Amino acid sequence: MDKTATKEYETVIGLEVHLQLSTESKIFCSCANKFGEDPNSLTCPVCLGLPGSLPVLNKKALEYGIKAGLALNCSINPLIKFDRKNYYYPDLPKAYQISQYDMPVASNGFLMITDEDGKPKTIRILRAHLEEDAGKLIHESTCSLVDYNRTGTPLLEIVTEPDLSSPQEAYDYLQNLKLTLQYLNVSDCDMEKGSLRCDANISIREKGVIKLGTKTELKNMNSFKAVKTALEYEVSRHKKVILAGDRITQESRLWDESKQMSFSMRSKEEAHDYRYFPEPDLVPFVVSDERISEIKASIPELPFTKLERLIKEYKITEYDARIIIQDNAISDFFEECTLHYKDFKKICNWINGSLLQELNSRKTKLAQIDLGALEFTKLIQKIDDETLSNLAAKDVLTHMIDSGKSVDEIVKEKGLSQVSNDSELEKIVEEVIADNEKVANEIKEGKESAVGFLVGQAMKRTQGKANPKKVGEIIKNKLSKSQ
Amino acid sequence: MISKEDVLNIASLSRIHLQDNEIDQLTKNLEDILEYIAKLEKLDVSNVEPTSHVLPIENVYREDKVNSSLGQSAALKISTENQNGSFKVPKVIE
């Protein structure tokens, strides 16, 4: 075996995430910041880069940038400025992108992940800066088509230090980052719509070596899973190249999802000569401590703090708590339920089971449906007091979400209520006994096992609405009494 | 010192094609400009705050309010060619 093959390598990964901020208007002009409209319908002289037009910063975009920076434990820079990043590409009408170079909104933060041994690991965040998104290019066979609607969408670029040691860690970082950002309501974080995009820098080095290996930059991954797969591919590609005695070329590579391979973009070196200089059309921005405190106060309890608190406060399992914190609205809903109903485990079961199933099958979120915590706990109570069977309760939940009606209304309308009323049940049992005289006689003679058959007949007769426990009791009662 | 290579690099970054006789001329022009500007380096600025903007103003914002856009047809009027509501450009794939 080749001697080099026994060498151990370690992986070094850094991620750049571009997050589209969900402001109403674009970052430097008043065009709507909206996805899926007719091409070029949301454009103006500013975002088309027409001569003489001037950008003005959207106050909300800066606020969102600061908010995200704070949630990622960054320091907010007291003086913020914008710079021009120069390059030619048809999706960039000004031939420069307004970005931030040396005075970004936020720097030196961190986000926690769990490493492969299950221990907490700190991933340092180098910086988060604001910039404008470019337009969207569609490549046809003989030409390219440009839609400038996306031009000027506010972006926050969040850059980590090279602290991630495996594709799995990169995946976990992205999950945790997305969850944290979702709690802030600054972006819809939808990778499919491109509102969250991720580029990855990766290199490998021999274990024990301090100097970083030559890195490549991976682009064009359209899901977190694709980021992980692309990184796994790239790690093994680097190893193969190095073990063959060759050198890695520093370059950008495109991930091809259908081929499951990365390909060199073969871009010229000069493409990276961005010649940054201060943007003369925008004045600097000073963020006061008061403003920072105000924004800090608007940040809700973040997911991982909430996770720990829920486990401690409600004595629910970590497994349950992890599911509940995946959506801020769900975790708020859970806590509201606990005000009305005290079996917290049961609330978890109903949220993480039937409710999430309902939401998933409708491809919707809790915030989008009309379901109150009080009604939801009333539904669970109806099972406790034997008004509803488990199965019937699930059915009621479906109708509650469909119609927005109350539990009581639906139970009444659908006649789903379990029949527990003694006189009603007695009448049914009498009918069943009359129809099954032979079995009834067997029971009278002591064949207890036949009771179940009669209970089954009573259930059939009531379409499952009879309370089976009570029916059994009445049958036994009647057949022993008449002895 | 500005070299011929610097000039060619800047020209290529700026998508400008230069004739041979222009290259020498521009090298000299750029050299003169830099020499002239270099006088500033002699100034003592140790007591001057670094600044990124000529105007002593800061925090000029707009509120996050949507205003009407040009619309598709007006936007496309400035295009040399268009197709399906989009600006049509020579095929580019980086």
- B50 to chain A, minimum CA–CA distance in Å? 12
Summarize the confidence of residues A170-175 as an average pLDDT: 97
Phi, psi of B21 (to 5 degrees): -70, -25
Q: Judge: B53–A42 Cβ closer than 8 Å, yes or no.
A: no
Tens of pLDDT, residue by residue over A13-70, are 999 999 999 999 999 999 999 999 999 999 999 999 999 999 999 999 999 999 999 9
Least CB–CB distance from A145: residue in B52, B61, B83? B83
Q: Residue A95's pLDDT is what?
A: 93
Task: Return the percentage of chain A with pLDDT > 70, whole number.
Answer: 96
- Asked if the Cβ–Cβ distance from A56 to B62 is below 8 Å, we say yes
Assess A404–B contact: CB distance below 8 Å, yes or no: no
Q: What is the predicted ipTM?
A: 0.89
A207 phi/psi in degrees, rounded to 5: -55, 135
**Is pLDDT at A128 greater than 70 in this prediction?**
yes
Q: A41, B69: Cβ pair inside 8 Å?
A: yes
Contacts B6 to A, Cβ<8 Å: none
State how many domains chain B has.
1
CA dihedral angle for residue A225, residue A227, residue A232, residue A234, rounded to 10 degrees:
150
Chain A residues closer than 8 Å to B59 by CB = 283, 285-286
Q: Assess contact for B66 and A63: CB atoms under 8 A.
A: no
Structure tokens at B9: 């690099």
Residue A426 has pLDDT above 90, yes or no: no
A25 contact B CB<8A = yes
Q: Which amino acid is at A239?
A: K
By Cβ distance, the residue of B15, B61, B70 closest to A57 is B61
pLDDT tens for each residue of B54-87: 888 999 999 999 999 999 999 999 999 999 999 9
State the span(s) of chain A assigned CATH 1.10.10.410. 422-481
Residue B48 lies in a domain: no
Closest CA to A35 of A153, A131, A146, A138: A153
Q: How far does the CA of residue A195 sit from the closest CA of chain B (Å)?
A: 19
Contact B53 A283 (CB under 8 A): yes
Q: Residue A483: pLDDT band by 50, 70, 90 thresholds?
A: very low
DSSP letters spanning A376-410: HHHHHHHHHTTSS-HHHHHHHHHHHHHH---HHHH
Give residue for tokens 């201060």. A278
- Which pair of tokens denotes residue B81? 């060619």
* Range of lowest pLDDT (A68-77, A391-400, A429-438, A466-475): A466-475
Q: Which domain range does residue B27 map to?
A: 1-42
Q: A228 vs A269, which has greater pLDDT?
A: A228
Q: Which residue of B has its CA nearest to A57?
A: B61
CA distance A338 to A355: 16
Buried b (16+ CB within 10 A) or exposed e, B2-33: beeeebeebeebeeeebeeeeeeebbeeeeee
A9-20: strand order across its sheet: A75-76, A106-114, A120-132, A154-160, A9-20, A196-206, A216-221, A251-256, A261-264
CB of B55 within 8 Å of any CB in chain A? yes
**Residue to test with chain A: of B6, B51, B55, B61, most A Cβ within 10 A:** B61
Contact A471, A456 (CB under 8 A): no
Q: Measured between CB atoms, does A194 come within 8 Å of chain B?
A: no
| pLDDT in the model for residue B53 | 84
- CATH code of residue B5: 1.10.20
Chain A, residues 223-282, CB within 8 A of chain B, namely 265, 267, 270-271, 273, 275, 278, 280, 282
Output the furthest CA–CA distance in chain B (Å, rounded): 58
Confidence of residue A212 (pLDDT cuts 50, 70, 90): very high
Flag whether pLDDT at A113 surpasses 90: yes
Say what the pLDDT of residue A1 is. Answer: 46
Residues A133-148, mean pLDDT to the nearest whole number: 94
Tell me if chain A has a CB within 8 Å of the CB of B5.
Answer: no
Band (A452; pLDDT cuts 50, 70, 90): confident
Q: Which of A12, A11, A17, A13 is nearest to A199 (CA)?
A: A17
Torsion of CA A170, A172, A174, A177, to 10 degrees: -130
**Residue B59 belongs to a domain:** no
Each residue's pLDDT tens digit, A260-295: 999 998 665 555 689 999 999 999 999 999 999 999
Question: Which amino acid appears at position A463 of this protein?
Answer: Q
Per-residue pLDDT tens digits for A319-343:
999 999 999 999 999 999 999 999 9
Count Cβ atoms below 10 Å from residue A310 Cβ, excluding itself. Answer: 23
Candidates B52, B89, B90; nearest CB to A284 = B52
Contact (Cβ atoms closer than 8 angstroms) between residue A278 and residue A83: yes
Beta bridge partners of A256: A261
CATH fold of the domain at A422-481: Arc Repressor Mutant, subunit A (1.10.10)
Residue among A43, A58, A148 whose CB faces B62 most closely: A58
Query: For an interface test with A, which of B52, B67, B77 has the most A Cβ atoms less than 10 Å from its Cβ?
Result: B52
Q: What is the pLDDT of residue A201?
A: 97
Cβ neighbours of B78 in A, within 8 Å:
48, 50
Are A433 and A479 in contact by the 8 Å Cβ rule? The answer is yes
